[in-house]
């Protein structure tokens, strides 16, 4: 099973709403990631979790709040977003540093629209 | 610093044509190299990888060889199909940097019947 599952697939939210994106993997990976992808651009790294602890925050605004409740789950809590935050949000997972297999596996993404 | 440069797209080919998408990289160490493919409305799928110099990654008729001397990892396929239409991303990462990926800008491939 090389699947990363993201829910929901599509989300429309107002600028005053609070919502959450969810991500799950069962590959035993201990590194999990959130990426943001705008149209016709490559993914941009937002956060990295390593062994359920936040290890990288790429200077992401505080209206995005990540959470890693356990080794299989990753959440991204959204609050007071702006229309320019509309994008495809991708979750990914991989083995931790030091492993020979360094590839990341991506979910299908959540298409977020902020109105 | 580390970076990946891909050829500008879109690339438009007829079915059964030969495909080459160029990718070159700048690396401070010895990275692993990847090609990911993104179909419309979907996430990224790993297409192939190579972890050291002279390795050849291959999958679904696609191939790429890790060339340290030219710092390149060009993607090739002998005969493309309409179903290969997608955006292709070249990427690199290191084994000891929390797997931070450096992506190229992506190359859109359109294959016409």
| Predicted confidence band of residue B41 (pLDDT cuts 50, 70, 90) | confident
| Nearest by CB: A97 against B89, B95, B104 | B95
Measured between alpha carbons, how far is B102 from B80 in angstroms, rounded to an integer?
27
Distances (CA, A) of A81 to A45, B62, B93: 18, 40, 31
Average pLDDT of the residues of chain B: 94
Measure CA of the first residue to CA of the last residue in chain A; give whole Å. Answer: 36
Segment B70-113, tens digit of pLDDT: 999 999 999 999 999 999 999 998 877 766 889 999 999 999 99
Measure CA of the first residue to CA of the last residue in chain B; give whole Å. Answer: 41
Q: Comparing C-alpha atoms, which of A90, A91, A99, A85 is closest to residue A72?
A: A91
| Nearest by CB: A104 against B41, B97, B99 | B99
Asked whether the beta carbons of residue A31 and residue B96 sit closer than 8 angstroms, the reply is: no
- Residue A82: both structure tokens together: 């702006």
| Nearest by CB: A55 against B44, B45, B98 | B98
CA distance B3 to chain A (A): 13
- Residue B113: both structure tokens together: 């019947």
3-state DSSP call for residue A104?
coil
pLDDT score of A16: 93
pLDDT score of A100: 66
Report the Cα B48 to chain-centroid distance in Å: 8
Q: Comparing C-alpha atoms, which of A82, A77, A83, A68 is closest to residue A30?
A: A68
Mutate to test the interface with A, among B25, B41, B43, B50 (most CBs of A within 10 A): B43
The count of CB pairs under 8 A between chains A and B is 68
| Nearest by CB: A102 against B41, B43, B95 | B95
pLDDT score of A98: 66
Measured between alpha carbons, how far is B30 from B40 in angstroms, rounded to an integer?
32
pLDDT score of A103: 87
pLDDT by residue for chain A (115 residues), tens digit each? 669 999 999 999 999 999 999 999 999 999 999 999 999 999 999 999 999 999 999 999 999 999 999 999 999 999 999 999 999 999 999 987 666 667 899 999 999 999 9
pLDDT score of B98: 64
Mutate to test the interface with B, among A102, A107, A109, A110 (most CBs of B within 10 A): A102
Mutate to test the interface with B, among A38, A103, A107, A110 (most CBs of B within 10 A): A103
Is B35 near chain A, with CB under 8 Å? no
């Amino acid at each position: 099973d090389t699947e990363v599952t993201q829910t929901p697939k599509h989300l429309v939210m107002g600028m005053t709403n609070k919502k959450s994106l969810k991500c799950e993997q069962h590959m035993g990976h201990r590194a999990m990631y959130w990426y943001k992808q705008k149209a016709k651009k490559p993914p941009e790294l937002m956060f990295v979790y390593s062994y359920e602890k936040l290890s990288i925050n790429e200077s992401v605004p505080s209206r995005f709040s990540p959470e890693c409740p356990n080794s299989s789950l990753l959440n991204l809590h959204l609050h007071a977003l702006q229309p320019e935050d509309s994008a495809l949000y991708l979750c990914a997972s991989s083995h931790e540093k030091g492993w020979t297999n360094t590839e990341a596996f991506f979910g299908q993404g959540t298409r977020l629209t902020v109105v | 610093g580390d970076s990946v440069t891909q050829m500008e797209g879109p690339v438009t080919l007829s079915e059964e044509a030969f495909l080459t998408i160029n990718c070159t990289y700048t690396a401070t160490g010895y990275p692993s190299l990847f090609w990911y493919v993104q179909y419309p409305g979907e996430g990224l799928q790993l297409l192939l990888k190579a972890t050291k110099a002279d390795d050849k990654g291959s999958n679904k008729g696609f191939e790429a060889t890790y060339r340290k001397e030219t710092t390149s990892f060009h993607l090739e396929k002998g005969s493309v199909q309409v179903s290969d239409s997608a955006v292709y991303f070249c990427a690199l990462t290191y084994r000891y940097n929390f797997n931070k990926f450096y992506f190229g800008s992506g190359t859109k491939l359109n294959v016409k019947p």
